[in-house]
Amino acid sequence: MRSAPELHAGDQVLSSDQIDRTFKNFHAFSCLAIGVSGGSDSLALLCLLHDWQQRSRWPGRLLVLTVDHGLRDESPQEAEFVGDLCLKIGVDHRTLRWTSAKPKSNLQDEARKARYRLLAEAMSEDNAEALVLAHHQDDQVETFLDRLTRGSGVYGLGAMRADERSGPEGLRLLRPLLDVPKSQLQATLQQMGQGWCEDPSNDSTDYKRVRLRHLAAELAAEGLDVERLVDTAGRLRRAADAIDSWVDQVLQNNVEEHPAGPLALHSEQYSGLPEEVRLRLLSRLILRVTRTAYPPRLAKLEALDLALCTDENVRSTLGGAQIVRFGDRFCFWKEAGRHPPETANLCGQGSMVWDDRFRISSMRGAIVEEGVMIGPLAGAPAADGEFTFPEGMPRDAFATCPAIWRREKLLLVPGLFHSDPEIEASIAVEHLRKLPMRTV
């Protein structure tokens, strides 16, 4: 499995100055995780980052994480290969195994989700602040072309960001090698005398990314080379940043968020926005109420936007969210769907995450008592007496909001109900992801 192809005369290695510039912003971190598979890209990242750490005397800690999906016979040996290298250079290493049953459909997508889930769990245990990935210039081009074939808009065609603040599982992703060609990474490894593992699928045209790589070579022959494609993606990211800045202002000034989760926006304020801003706003609102990792496809957002702008009685679902016109407002909330939020026992828990949306914390030990539960309001016991739902939002919007009860007595629904002031002061229920918007 170890491979070190011959170094070609035209391949240039990365200089110490280039390496220092690549990682200069990493001084701000105290612990970084690195995703390393054993291939040339990720091994180059590991070796370069370790080299920089030694020369710069960065006092932080590196944690190397290798995910073994259990889908190829070679993967255990590749993980062992990475572990041996880490032991040699004195870097902590962990192998993470996907041991659950493998799905019969959408295997690659499910494997990707499992990978980030395993990485997030390991990083949480070791207090790693960000995940460093080895995506390089060639990957950026393949991503751009792939999204172009899917009909992506300005956000998708912006391809990958060097610093993605809220990636899958809420992870911060750092991609310091996006300006570096793969050939330069391999040449640098070769100069270091470091071999790597070669995956035969990297050259198989059964995979779309390989076919896109060949297409990129053909486009370069027509004058649309790597540099121009990367520059185009960068300009689209600039446009996306400008739209996001506008969306941030709309969220802050016009969107109301109830502490229990639902969102509301006046229909006139929505329809008066440019279409591209509306589409991005829809994506952000859906992700906010559902806490899913990926936004709906652009075509589905466009269809929803058309309905919101033309249908006086719109009631739709998209991406796990319910979107309803209620009077002169559009309301957004998480739908129960096929998998409603779980009901969990809070006994013995000082802090926990519920439904990937809320963090529940005990301020004075209140939630460690026996029999205290959390679940969706739709499945909670009735309150002692009526409580008033806010104007401008339907009652349905609160069906999946968090409710806390003991035995058959409802204790707390954030922003809606508490059995007594002591309970409200003792239990904190907070959104995991903060967005700049007003609360009601």
Q: What is the pLDDT of residues 173-229, one digit of tens each?
A: 999 999 999 999 999 999 999 999 987 777 778 888 889 988 998 998 888 999 999
**pLDDT above 60 for 62:** yes
- Is 39 known to sit in a ligand binding site? yes
**pLDDT above 60 for 168:** yes
- pLDDT value of position 440: 40
| Biggest CA pair distance of the chain | 81
pLDDT band at 365 (very low <50, low <70, confident <90, very high): low
Angstrom distance (rounded) from CA 382 to CA 376: 12
- Is 41 known to sit in a ligand binding site? yes
- Is 37 known to sit in a ligand binding site? yes
Do 157 and 8 have their domain in common? Answer: yes
H and E: helices and strands count for the chain: 13, 22
Do 163 and 264 have their domain in common? Answer: no
- Is 38 known to sit in a ligand binding site? yes
Do 84 and 202 have their domain in common? Answer: yes
pLDDT band at 434 (very low <50, low <70, confident <90, very high): low
Among the candidates 310, 334, 358, a domain finishes at: 334
How many Cα atoms occupy the beta-carbon half-sphere of 131 within 13 Å? Answer: 27
Nearest-CA neighbor of 50 among 184, 161, 189, 169?
189
- pLDDT value of position 272: 95
Strands 402-406 and 409-413: antiparallel
Residue spans of alpha helices (H) in 291-380: 298-310
Residue 365 lies in a domain: yes
- pLDDT value of position 368: 54
Secondary structure E strands in 227-328? 256-257, 263-266, 315-318, 321-326
| Highest mean pLDDT out of 108-112, 141-145, 338-342, 408-412 | 141-145
Residue 339 lies in a domain: no
Do 221 and 103 have their domain in common? Answer: yes
- pLDDT value of position 364: 59
- pLDDT value of position 139: 94
Do 284 and 185 have their domain in common? Answer: no
Summarize the confidence of residues 238-251 as an average pLDDT.
95
**pLDDT above 80 for 236:** yes
**pLDDT above 90 for 90:** yes
- pLDDT value of position 437: 47
CATH number for the domain spanning 255: value is: 3.30.465.60
The Cβ of residue 301 has, within 10 Å, a number of other Cβ atoms equal to: 21
Among the candidates 180, 210, 230, a domain finishes at: 230
The pTM of the full predicted model, rounded to 2 decimals, is 0.82
Lowest-confidence pick of 50-59, 175-184, 191-200, 430-439: 430-439
- pLDDT value of position 243: 96
**pLDDT above 70 for 107:** yes
Do 320 and 361 have their domain in common? Answer: no
- pLDDT value of position 6: 53
CATH number for the domain spanning 88: value is: 3.40.50.620
Do 176 and 71 have their domain in common? Answer: yes
Summarize the confidence of residues 16-27 as an average pLDDT.
95
Nearest-CA neighbor of 431 among 296, 301, 263?
263
* Domain assignment of residue 277, given as a range: 240-334
Residue 409 lies in a domain: yes
Residue 87 lies in a domain: yes
Residues making up the chain, counted from first to last: 440
How many domains are contained in the chain?
3
Residue 398 lies in a domain: yes
- Is 40 known to sit in a ligand binding site? yes
Share of the chain above pLDDT 70, in %: 93
Higher confidence at residue 283 or residue 7? 283
Residue 14 lies in a domain: yes
Do 61 and 184 have their domain in common? Answer: yes
Summarize the confidence of residues 61-67 as an average pLDDT.
97
Do 50 and 112 have their domain in common? Answer: yes
CB-count burial class (<10 Å; 0-12, 13-18, 19+) for 105: exposed
Strands 409-413 and 344-345: unpaired
- pLDDT value of position 374: 93
Do 300 and 435 have their domain in common? Answer: no
Residue 235 lies in a domain: no
pLDDT band at 439 (very low <50, low <70, confident <90, very high): very low
Summarize the confidence of residues 133-152 as an average pLDDT.
94
- pLDDT value of position 11: 62
Do 164 and 213 have their domain in common? Answer: yes
> Mind listing the pLDDT tens digit for each residue in 310-351?
999 999 999 999 999 999 999 999 998 877 899 998 877 677
**pLDDT above 50 for 438:** no
Do 107 and 184 have their domain in common? Answer: yes
**pLDDT above 80 for 433:** no
Residue 109 lies in a domain: yes
Among the candidates 230, 250, 285, a domain finishes at: 230
